[in-house]
Amino acid sequence: MTKTKERPPLSLDDLAERYAALGAEIAAAPEKLISLGAALAREAARHGDKPAVIFNDETLSWRALHERSNRIARALIAKGLKQGDYLTIALPNSIGFVEACYGAWKVGAVPQPVSSRLPQSELKAIADLADGPVVVGAPYDIGRPSVSIDDLLALSDDASDLPEVVSPSWKAPTSGGSTGRPKLIVSGASAVATGAGAMLWQIEPDDIVLMPGPLYHNGPFSTTFAALEIGAPVIIMPKFDAEQTLKLIEKYKVTWIYTVPTMMGRMWRLPDRERYDVSSLRVLWHLAAPCPPWLKEAFIDWLGPDVVMELYGGTEGVSLTMITGREWMTHKGSVGRVFGRSTMRAFSADGRELPMGEVGEIYMKLPEGAPPSYKYLGAETRALEGGWESIGDIGYFDAEGFLYLADRRTDMILVGGANVYPAEVEAAIDEHPLVASSCVIGIPDDDLGNKVHAIVQPRGALSEKDLLDHIAGRLVIYKRPRTFEFVNEPLRDDAGKVRRSQLRAERVGVK
């Protein structure tokens, strides 16, 4: 087994202190901050022709990224984009995606990334909500002008620096949720280079960053540009592939990687996983979806307890928790303690704050006097009096302040009066070696109110009896699926997200 070089144990308390000190320093002298566009110019001057972004067999230098994004910015201005506008970017993972974002920042506009695979009606609804004068990469007519990166580069050959301008918000991703209604989450932070993102994600300038996740999602977007902001090169994969990920780690001596549990499971199940040298890895983050405890423990054993890190929080940025692999071994199943000066608590359905150990909806609150961390376009905040906000997750805190999540409020299944959390059932199913992915939903039932229905993507010959035998010792009877459905297509997207409400809507009436 290849063991990575374990770094010294990380103290999240010390990290929080350094993060708070940086915040105080920024607040004391905001005039010293430079724009993200100017930060790229700084790194281009420092690194010149060294690689900034690697994608497949293509490498773009820092100088080229800076100069090409200057040309793209001028072309976007010619297309009517101005400071404060939203620029909907519907590109797949690519160097062009990165160039488009920097082009937007250099105009003072707000990058608004979306999946390039959205259906026409959904993309149109999001672009209409953003209401920018132009869209980059729309694959079909959505009723407003759309351009490609090549189109933009053809409009301007002026690669000189533009006057520095700051966007009022540095990002406006869409919700990763499952309501089916478009919603933009506009960051409350302007597009200035603070180094805070890199500190939070523990990215160093000499790191080699590997990004297998879709850049339109908040986690991959935030971490990719946190790395580039401080001069750390990023290797972007067109799409996650388990074996290719391990090959890239070995080839480039990758030190930092973003993952989701789906990716982890696929890498772990590779029959020849151990032939690849992953000892260069210093940090592996996983987030965005629940991680089955068996898989988490397997990665800690493989990579070391000081390499594996987990973060829980919403794109809204109100609050977050972190946990190291070392902490997790004594708090198995937890997503960590609250990081920084924000607050989280569990509340009952009638708005009462719950004591430690009781399951409720998790609400978050910014520190007193802090400016808003986001605003919604197309939705309203779910909030209680006193500044408490919820993103819909259910869980509880233990006596030491560690948070344990159950599931999302809207995904919980009520079976004969008992709560069943889909994530728990999915974790049990996914532990079967022949399961590639699963999704558990509630189907109306005349007797129990709802029955648990499991949708499973198998990796080989797998029967309903195989799964029932597998979960018999893992789940109490009322949590076990009453029905199974086998499908060929992946149930989670490249970011590890699953749209349970959509899957349920497609199956209501299934008996």
In terms of DSSP H, where are the helices of 345-414?
none
408 falls in which pLDDT band (50, 70, 90)? low
511 falls in which pLDDT band (50, 70, 90)? very low
The dihedral region occupied by 436, where left means phi > 0, alpha psi between -120 and 50, and beta the remainder, is alpha
**The CATH number of the domain where 88 resides is what?**
3.40.50.980
Question: What are the pLDDT digits (tens) for 202-239?
Answer: 999 999 999 999 999 999 999 999 999 999 999 999 99
pLDDT of res. 200: 96
478: in domain: yes
Chosen domain end from 144, 167, 186: 186
56: in domain: no
Of 84 and 370, the one with more pLDDT: 84
Q: 127 and 111, same structural domain?
A: yes
Q: 123 and 94, same structural domain?
A: yes
Q: 180 and 86, same structural domain?
A: yes
Q: Flag whether pLDDT at 180 surpasses 80.
A: no
483: in domain: yes
Q: 187: which strand partners?
A: 374
Q: What is the DSSP string of 439-454?
A: EEEEEEETTTEEEEEE
Of 343 and 117, the one with more pLDDT: 343
179 falls in which pLDDT band (50, 70, 90)? very low
Q: How far is CA 410 from CA 21, 66, 500, 501, 506, in A?
A: 38, 44, 9, 8, 16
- At CA 431, angle to CA 426 and CA 435, rounded to 5? 80
Q: How does the average pLDDT of the chain come out, rounded?
A: 90
397: in domain: yes
**How many CB atoms are closer than 10 A to CB 94?**
19
pLDDT of res. 5: 54
4 falls in which pLDDT band (50, 70, 90)? low
Q: 445 and 424, same structural domain?
A: yes
Q: 156 and 43, same structural domain?
A: yes
C-alpha to C-alpha distance for 42 and 193, rounded to whole angstroms:
11
Give the neighbor-by-neighbor strand order of the sheet with 135-136. Answer: 110-113, 86-89, 135-136, 146-147
**The CATH number of the domain where 448 resides is what?**
3.30.300.30
Q: 331 and 200, same structural domain?
A: yes
Of 509 and 263, the one with more pLDDT: 263
Q: 163 and 41, same structural domain?
A: yes
C-alpha to C-alpha distance for 146 and 79, rounded to whole angstroms:
10
pLDDT of res. 407: 63
Chosen domain end from 186, 209, 241: 186
**The CATH number of the domain where 357 resides is what?**
2.30.38.10
491: in domain: yes
| Domain boundaries, position 426 | 413-507
C-alpha to C-alpha distance for 76 and 108, rounded to whole angstroms:
11
First to last CA, the chain: 46
Q: What percent of the chain has pLDDT over 70?
A: 95
Q: 323 and 206, same structural domain?
A: yes
Q: 138 and 67, same structural domain?
A: yes
Q: 329 and 403, same structural domain?
A: no
207: in domain: yes
Q: Flag whether pLDDT at 177 surpasses 50.
A: no
Q: 82 and 40, same structural domain?
A: yes
Question: What are the pLDDT digits (tens) for 141-166?
Answer: 999 999 999 999 999 999 999 999 99
pLDDT of res. 435: 92
Q: Flag whether pLDDT at 473 surpasses 80.
A: no
DSSP state of 174: B
Q: Flag whether pLDDT at 1 surpasses 50.
A: no
57: in domain: no
C-alpha to C-alpha distance for 149 and 72, rounded to whole angstroms:
8
Q: 26 and 40, same structural domain?
A: no
Total domain count for the chain? 4
Least confident among 104-108, 278-282, 465-469, 494-498: 494-498
Q: How far is CA 31 from CA 19, 34, 317, 438, in A?
A: 19, 8, 24, 50
448: in domain: yes
Question: What are the pLDDT digits (tens) for 190-202?
Answer: 999 999 999 999 9
Q: Flag whether pLDDT at 176 surpasses 60.
A: no
- Determine the average pLDDT of the residues in 58-69: 98
Question: What are the pLDDT digits (tens) for 330-342?
Answer: 999 999 999 988 9
**The CATH number of the domain where 251 resides is what?**
3.40.50.12780
